[in-house]
Structure 1
């Protein structure tokens, strides 16, 4: 792979860096103040400064960069990866300002790849325009949802309708009143082959039989500044058969197509978080002088700074390799690298954030710095799109198989 970015990527990087410096990062305290003043704290995308940022992002051509093909900006994974990293430096504000925030990104990818023309007209077009929000309803409290085949929510055909019953939780973005649709995963045929039991279906959030039970908290944060995480109950929710995405039994395959790009987006944004943490750590280490000398002169702090730089450079190279492979051999061919970055990114970035917090002392745990919030979000990534242990198990299984084949070839 080439280690230089192409002209299109460099052009967008320059534009995005300027947008971040001139508009996004100065808007962070403004967003926090305006969000705190909202009557409905879940309605984060009604904050005035966010509307201003979105208008500026559109003007600069920094809109829907995540989505390949004619529906989006047409970028490859390798082109988008460094842009996602830059946006990760202000992860609460930059991605939604550019209409590049999860879970909308994954949902738009699903609708773009698998949606009917009617589904695209009703849901994809307003999502692409940033007029509405969406959520992805898969995780459940009563089963081990790290194995998606375990989900118990039922989707039952009844004439011209499907009836959905079940309970979901950690449904990101669903507390937002502007979240208008859920892509919901459930079982249409529990007796089918294991990976053919599931289907995905569109459920409008204003359905009278859909109960938004509560918002979940993440290490004490309600994440209302990006739509929260809801617990939902489907009380025999009836929707038209036309709301089914793809065919019955295709839900698992669709979810896998959705998760590959989503994982690399998460990982590149996480690298941006790490870079900002290193900046904050170095600045704090220079200005704080306990026991008569700067923290930056302490050997242990210098060790943390050096290790942080090594770790983030390794992580970036691994993630760019995964992006390059996704573009050249497809998501299936890049499966090992995608799993590797999903294992490495959250734990690596969590380590860097931990050291940055330590250098800040008690202030690092407070609301006066972004580190505690960044740490909480980074920790959730060790569950999002599958926990560490699932990816490690699959990666080890593939490696054992590969090594066995090598031994056979030598025998």
Structure 2
């Protein structure tokens, strides 16, 4: 048993006497009365000395060797995780819906740790926010009382309101260290095609800057049923990686393939697939399942928005922008008023649509005339709690309001 202090100094005489007494009876099990007294003393905050067996030299050496092996294993795992993050960290240009409330906006006195089982929401972290299609900065601190229940599923979608063409966007982000700076530039091309004999809307989102890895742009292609707007298929091409997702009315099947890139031919993939995996996730068929920011832009353009409108969509609660991770959940959306947005070509009247997630909602400004999303405002991730995404080209707008000078 240990008879000294951790700093190896001699114990006080009265304490040493107690230690000696304990040593003399260490071979005997503590009776019920002693255990009761020890527990009462600990509950009162009093430190209680109890006999502790000393590990012999051979056991100690074996324990040290096991601990060394464990540390080496952790180090190897850490290096692998770091390499994975380094591989995809340049992809900070997400085609993602940013609907997270800012954690700092939630008073500390009114929050409590969220249960992992509550609405399928787990604790956020920096890498999770980096990869999440629905960044959730404050999910680890949900307001007391939790989120409101889902509204009725959105309805009344009209594909004729979706105008084919290419739109260009720029995102600006800010944090505690700098004001809003250009963060990414991307394009969204929408057209009508046939997929497996059925008419479909095709949405191709191309990230132009910043360019990841070897400079090849990331493309995200999504096919929607033209009548119901339910997703049919999705493909993400990212140099050495390809993600294929297929949808039924309630199932998402994902296949991920990793291809080694040749230094001499950076744009070509070998036929061999050295690494791949597959998974299936079930979602609620009663709500339209929205899988990306670009899809939500198209859905909003097809909705009959009006004062007081509200509806609910399905999303994945997982912590990834590219991969299908986490259980299915929902987001509530509602029209709360009318704003105007000043763009390069004039001022446009827009619906103010709020996306709710339990805290301060994300704000999307949607043109009343065309249904195009002109501006999104809200946190991007834990690194950028302030972010705005502007439509800068491709708006099929005809009616413009008189410009108003900015306040100086």
Structure 2 length normalisation: TM-score? Answer: 0.23
Structure that is richer in helix per residue = 1
Give the number of the structure with larger relative contact order, counting CA–CA contacts within 8 Å between residues 6 or more apart. Answer: 2
Structure that is richer in strand per residue = 2
Question: Rg bigger for which structure?
Answer: 2
Structure 1 length normalisation: TM-score? Answer: 0.23
